[in-house]
């Protein structure tokens, strides 16, 4: 079966002889959750922006569902670390703005039904007519997630969406994201610095190295390893550390970040 997401030999260079990364290739099947881990500066967000059509690679290609990505599109939903809500609009209207962009022919009642469905899914029914300044950081991120899911994208792209949240809120939203993804069968590509977050959420984890100077000359960053998560897919935060294979997987990822992720 052809991959749903296919990334072929991506590279990005702001200076021709010192590309940030080079020859990055990977794929994802429909319904798969893929996480990308690496240190700051390795090009993770650039790769996500290329997938979103918000940036272009120096070389290489990205295909989603058999079509090459050549710019932004509503078949791809993006959630950034900062929620990017329109501050003058309520939760309802922030999400409705996206829904109307996706289905311009829908009547107001259809739009509102779609909005309510996803607001309820992230547990914000009580706040649907509040504006962003009336919401906590965690609630704003929930709105961003609801907005991304409400346009029913083929591919969901997450750029460290929980990085600025406290541990308790982060854990709660991780659980909600897992539940939604399982319910919708969504294909997800996510960037994270958090090893345990990747183990909890991902089916496969991509390990990325930083570029840098080495005794043999400059070496661009790239994809060092693809790790399949061996833990049962129906896992929870509370039980994660009790699952056979958890510590071996965690130690492998931490070892990569500590000793192998940076050019040497």
Tell me: do 38 and 169 sit in the same domain. yes
Mean pLDDT of 234-238: 86
Tell me: do 114 and 65 sit in the same domain. no
The pLDDT > 70 percentage for the chain reads: 98
Tell me: do 49 and 170 sit in the same domain. yes
Tell me: do 56 and 170 sit in the same domain. yes
Residue 65 has pLDDT above 70, yes or no: yes
Neighbouring C-beta atoms of residue 176, cutoff 10 Å? 16
Angstrom distances, CA of residue 184 to CA of 12, 31, 191 = 33, 9, 20
Q: Are 222 and 7 in contact (CB under 8 A)?
A: no
Tell me: do 114 and 209 sit in the same domain. no
Q: What is the pTM of this model?
A: 0.90
Note down the domain range covering 119. Answer: 83-152
Residue 264 has pLDDT above 70, yes or no: no
Tell me: do 112 and 15 sit in the same domain. no
Say how far apart CA 63 and CA 51 lie, in whole Å: 9
CATH of the domain at 185: 3.40.50.300
Tell me: do 145 and 162 sit in the same domain. no
Confidence of residue 199 (pLDDT cuts 50, 70, 90): very high
Which 3 state secondary structure label does DSSP give 222?
strand
Residue 251 has pLDDT above 80, yes or no: yes
State which of 125, 152, 179 marks the end of a domain. 152
Tell me: do 51 and 168 sit in the same domain. yes
Is the model more confident about 164 or about 243? 243
Confidence of residue 56 (pLDDT cuts 50, 70, 90): very high
State which of 133, 152, 171 marks the end of a domain. 152
Paired strand residues for 59:
11
State which of 97, 119, 152 marks the end of a domain. 152
Count of structural domains within the chain: 2
pLDDT for res 207: 97
pLDDT for res 43: 93
Say how far apart CA 138 and CA 149 lie, in whole Å: 17
Which 3 state secondary structure label does DSSP give 119?
helix
Range with the poorest average pLDDT among 27-41, 55-69, 168-182: 168-182
Tell me: do 172 and 252 sit in the same domain. yes
Say how far apart CA 63 and CA 70 lie, in whole Å: 9
Residue 224 has pLDDT above 90, yes or no: yes
Nearest CA among 220, 260, 253, 249 for reference residue 37: 253
Tell me: do 251 and 131 sit in the same domain. no
107: which 2 tokens? 């009547």
Task: Please give the helix or strand (H or E) that residue 96 lies within, else none.
Answer: helix 91-102
Nearest CA among 96, 104, 144, 153 for reference residue 124: 144
Tell me: do 234 and 253 sit in the same domain. yes
Mean pLDDT of 197-206: 95
Tell me: do 90 and 208 sit in the same domain. no
Paired strand residues for 79:
158
Q: Are 69 and 50 in contact (CB under 8 A)?
A: yes
């Amino acid at each position: 079966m052809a991959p749903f997401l296919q990334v072929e030999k991506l590279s990005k260079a702001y200076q021709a002889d010192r590309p940030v990364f080079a020859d990055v290739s990977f794929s994802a099947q429909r319904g798969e959750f893929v996480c990308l881990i690496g240190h700051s500066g390795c090009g993770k967000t650039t790769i996500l922006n290329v997938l979103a059509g918000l940036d272009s690679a120096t070389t290489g290609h990205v295909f989603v569902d058999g079509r090459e990505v050549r710019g932004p599109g509503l078949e791809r939903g993006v959630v950034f670390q900062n929620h990017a809500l329109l501050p003058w609009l309520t939760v309802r209207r922030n999400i409705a703005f996206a829904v109307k962009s996706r289905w311009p022919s829908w009547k107001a009642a259809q739009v509102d039904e779609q909005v309510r469905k996803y607001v309820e899914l992230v547990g914000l029914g009580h706040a649907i007519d509040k504006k962003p300044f009336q919401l906590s950081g965690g609630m704003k991120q929930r709105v961003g997630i609801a907005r991304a899911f409400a346009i029913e994208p083929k591919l969901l792209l997450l750029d460290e969406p929980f990085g600025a949240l406290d541990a308790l809120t982060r854990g709660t939203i991780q659980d909600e994201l897992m539940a939604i993804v399982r319910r919708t069968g969504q294909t997800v590509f996510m960037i994270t610095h958090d090893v345990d977050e990747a183990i909890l959420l991902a089916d496969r984890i991509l390990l990325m190295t930083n570029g840098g100077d080495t005794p043999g000359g400059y070496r661009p960053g790239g994809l060092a390893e693809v790790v399949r998560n061996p833990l049962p897919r129906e896992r929870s935060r509370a039980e994660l550390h009790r699952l056979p294979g958890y510590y071996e997987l965690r130690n492998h990822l931490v070892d990569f970040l500590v000793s192998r992720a940076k050019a040497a």
